[in-house]
Amino acid sequence: MTRQIRLGVLGCGNVGAALIELIGAQADAIEARTGVRLEVARVAVRNLSAPRDVALPDGVLTRDAHEVVADPTIDVVVEVIGGIEPARELITAALGNGKPVITANKELLANVGAELYAAADEAGVDLLFEAAVAGGIPVIRALRESLRGEPISRVMGIINGTTNFILTKMTEQGTDYAVALAEAQALGFAERDPTADVEGFDAGAKAAIIATIAFGSKVVAGDVYHEGISRVSSHDIAMATRLGYVVKLLGIAEADAATGEVAVRVHPTLVPKTHPLASVRESYNAVFVEGRAVGSLMFYGRGAGGSPTASAVLGDVIDAALNLTNGTHGSLGTFTRAKIRPIDETSAEYLLSMEVADRPGVLHAVTGVFARHDVSIRAAEQEGINPDARLVFITHTAREAAMQATVRELRSLPEVRSVGSLLRVIGG
């Protein structure tokens, strides 16, 4: 027997319009496979007269999103408005009214996710959010279901398509950062104000959600250390290429099984060319999961765009509809606050370059600084000749605090003209 599910969709922009279009195309197939008939019953927007990318039946549009979440004839609510408010109060109200909610809102979940998961549990309904991290890539479901029993040690993700596009252009075409950014903006991959993407805030929000789900403890956006790509130079890229690395903006979430601490950070990272993440080009995303039992897994695909994101939202809608029909719901359990390891106490391998005077004794002076801070050098090379030279060092695993102290002391050495980028290295 077919069960009719009436959807209230909040927002009809890139994702909302693509979702409504996809439901129109797939409703028959979904009904045949699941016995659930999806009907887009109400669609809330800000501007009733704005043109829409999808044909909507008469009478479904409203400006009153609160009315939609309160409507007793609506079974499932989809929030694709974005931002913190009014999304938070709308989702809370929908859950309180016993309606499952699907959201693609990373900003909201990275700030108040745990509170919303608890509200969904209390109401006994689903709150699903596959699309909030890495768009169309089904990584949240994998983490919360397939890998539920896995002792996950680290998750590393290329989870911002804009920055991956820019870094790909810089690497493959030798383009400067500013030129690559302008190209990304012209192609619609970057916003006019690109700060959220290029400074790592967007990836940081997604990393917080990933860490919360992977490690089962609450991590919020403010816990994530982030550095963006705006200071990555074409010289850094060329140096990385020569040494066998690709520069990627990675979101990295690590758990220390011994101390229970969680470290979450976003920064440009040198990835060995042989690592699977190195092959993720253009605006594609990938999430690389390492577990003590399962080993390594990689999830790859389109991390944004109306259609891929709508695909993830639709999967959640069907799950929620089936659970509602069966009188059940998923649960993430309860979250305690994560014990966050500050960035100073994290460890990594580092690449550090500096301009030095090319004269006898310089190398001795410079390596002496590394040794004083207990940072051991794995590889070193010198470029250039008199009067200036560039030294490049790759360290063994070192503590961030020791590395920062090394950089500070190097800056004060008379032999060192300038200290260049400090880039973290994975998988050396």
Ligand X SMILES: NC(=O)c1ccc[n+]([C@@H]2O[C@H](COP(=O)([O-])OP(=O)(O)OC[C@H]3O[C@@H](n4cnc5c(N)ncnc54)[C@H](OP(=O)(O)O)[C@@H]3O)[C@@H](O)[C@H]2O)c1
Site for ligand X in 111-140 (CB under 6 A): 131, 135
Q: Does 159 bind ligand X (CB under 6 A)?
A: no
46 interacts with ligand X by CB under 6 A: yes
Quote the least distance from Cβ 298 to ligand X, whole Å: 20
Pick the stretch among 22-30, 42-50, 163-171, 273-281 that binds ligand X (CB under 6 A).
Answer: 42-50
The yes or no reply on residue 304 touching ligand X (CB under 6 A) is: yes
Q: Given the complex with ligand X, which of 104 and 369 has the nearer CB atom?
A: 104
Active site residue 206: yes
* Smaller CB separation from ligand X, 90 or 321: 90
Quick check: 47 binds ligand X (CB under 6 A)? Answer: yes
Is the CB of 82 or the CB of 330 nearer to ligand X? Answer: 82
Q: Which stretch binds ligand X (CB under 6 A): 103-111, 147-155, 162-170, 355-363?
A: 103-111
Mind spelling out the 3-state secondary structure of the chain?
A: CCEEEEEEEECCCHHHHHHHHHHHHHHHHHHHHHCEEEEEEEEECCCCCCCCCCCCCCCCEECCHHHHHHCCCCCEEEECCCCCCCHHHHHHHHHHCCCCEEECCHHHHHHHHHHHHHHHHHHCCCEECHHHCCCCCCHHHHHHHHCCCCCEEEEEEECCHHHHHHHHHHHHHCCCHHHHHHHHHHCCCCCCCCHHHHCCHHHHHHHHHHHHHHHCEECCHHHCEECCCCCCCHHHHHHHHHCCEEEEEEEEEEECCCCCEEEEEEEEEEEECCCHHHHCCCCEEEEEEEECCCEEEEEEEECCCHHHHHHHHHHHHHHHHHHHHHCCCCCCCCCEECEECCHHHCEEEEEEEEEEECCCCHHHHHHHHHHHCCCCEEEEEEECCCCEEEEEEEECCEEHHHHHHHHHHHHHCCCEEEEEEEEEECCC
Binding status of residue 15 toward ligand X by CB under 6 A: yes
- 109 binds ligand X per the rule CB under 6 A: no
Residues 188-247 binding ligand X (CB under 6 A) are none
Q: Which is nearer to ligand X, 205 or 426 (CB)?
A: 205
Kindly state whether residue 11 participates in binding ligand X, applying the rule CB under 6 A.
yes
Residue of 24, 50, 174, 260 that binds ligand X (CB under 6 A):
50
- Pick the closer one to ligand X by CB: 14 or 168: 14
- The catalytic position among 206, 218, 248, 273 is 206
Task: Show the binding pattern over residues 76-95: x = contacts ligand X (CB under 6 A), - = does not.
Answer: ----xxx---x---------
* Size of residue set near ligand X by CB under 6 A: 26
Nearest approach, Cβ of residue 307 and ligand X (Å): 9
Interface with ligand X (CB under 6 A), residue from 42, 99, 106, 206? 106
* Site of interaction with ligand X (CB under 6 A): 10-16, 44-47, 50, 65, 80-82, 86, 104-106, 131, 135, 304-306, 309
Catalytic residue set: 206
